[in-house]
Amino acid sequence: MHTLAELQTQLRRLQDQRATPEASVGYDGSEVTYKTDSQLAAAIADLESRIANVEGRQIRKVRITTSKGL
């Protein structure tokens, strides 16, 4: 299991990566290439969830969906 500091480092790298046009990020001698922004966003959300779990807090998500009824 990763330590909190390692998870936070990975999260910062993914967030920095999302702000650049490149599709790969490296950590501990390995490299991961993401094909879409949604894959990168999902990886960030997963790390945020894992960090919250290690810190002993919950992340609550509210999903709002609307429709015009057509």
pLDDT for the residue numbered 23? 66
Give me the amino acid identity at 57: R
pLDDT for the residue numbered 36? 77
Q: Which residue has the tokens 């960090």?
A: 51
* Domain segments of the chain as ranges: 4-55
Report, in this order, helix, strand and coil percent for the chain, each rounded to 5.
50, 10, 40
Closest to 5 in 3D by CA, of 51, 58, 46: 51
Does this model's pTM top 0.75? My answer is: no
pLDDT for the residue numbered 37? 77
Question: Mean pLDDT throughout 42-70?
Answer: 80
1, 10, 56 from 52: Cα distances, Å:
14, 14, 6
2-42 pLDDT, tens digit each = 788 888 888 888 888 777 766 677 767 777 777 777 888 88
